[in-house]
Amino acid sequence: MSKIFSSLLISLFLVCTAYAENSQDFGDYVVHYNAFPSTSIPASVAKNYNIVRSKERAVINISVLKKVMGTSGTPVDAKVTGTAKNLMGQQQSIHFKEIKEETAIYYIAQMQVEHREVLNFTLNVRIPGESSAVVVKFKKQFYTN
């Protein structure tokens, strides 16, 4: 992997973890999630991942780790789908793309947001070999001004 590409991935990881990262525990797995303004991502990283930087756009970042004793976990492949619903009941689908690197796997999506909009997210995470999807729910308010 080139040094430039590695530094871009590290930048994306640092931006994603700079915001209040949250996680939910599901037995052998932990799902980490966060949502933040796309303008928080450095321009070079956004360009590399085809992320539109705009104050009216948010990025949703998901990662799934299998618990491994004595480590922070092992990244696992998953199928992530989801929806976001505002307080007026308007719902939109969220389409994730996978970003895979040597030591991490991320699922990234973008969506349009309005100033002070509160979104309730429902994410379905399917982990290969598991009998059913795990469901992650969280709420986030966005500020665009």
Report pLDDT digits (tens) over 111-124. Answer: 999 999 999 999 99
Report pLDDT digits (tens) over 31-80. Answer: 999 999 999 999 998 998 899 999 999 999 999 999 999 988 999 999 99
Per-residue confidence (pLDDT) for residue 101, from 0 to 100: 85
Could you give the CA distance from residue 133 to residue 101 in angstroms, rounded to a whole number? 24
Instruction: Inform me whether the pLDDT recorded for 7 exceeds 80.
Output: no
**With left for phi above 0 and alpha for psi between -120 and 50, is residue 73 left, alpha or beta?**
left
Instruction: Inform me whether the pLDDT recorded for 4 exceeds 80.
Output: no
Amino acid making up residue 29? Y
Q: Which two tokens stand for residue 92?
A: 């939109």
Alpha-carbon distance values, 96 to 56, 61, 83, 144 (Å): 18, 9, 11, 22
Residue 4's SS3 state is helix
The architecture that CATH gives domain 3-141 is Sandwich (2.60)
Mean pLDDT of the chain: 88
Could you give the CA distance from residue 20 to residue 17 in angstroms, rounded to a whole number? 7
pTM: 0.84
Instruction: Inform me whether the pLDDT recorded for 13 exceeds 90.
Output: no
Contact 110, 38 (CB under 8 A): yes
Per-residue confidence (pLDDT) for residue 12, from 0 to 100: 53
Collect all residues with Cβ–Cβ distance below 8 Å to 126 and sequence separation of at least 6: 78, 79, 80, 133
Q: Which sequence spans correspond to the domains of the chain? A: 3-141
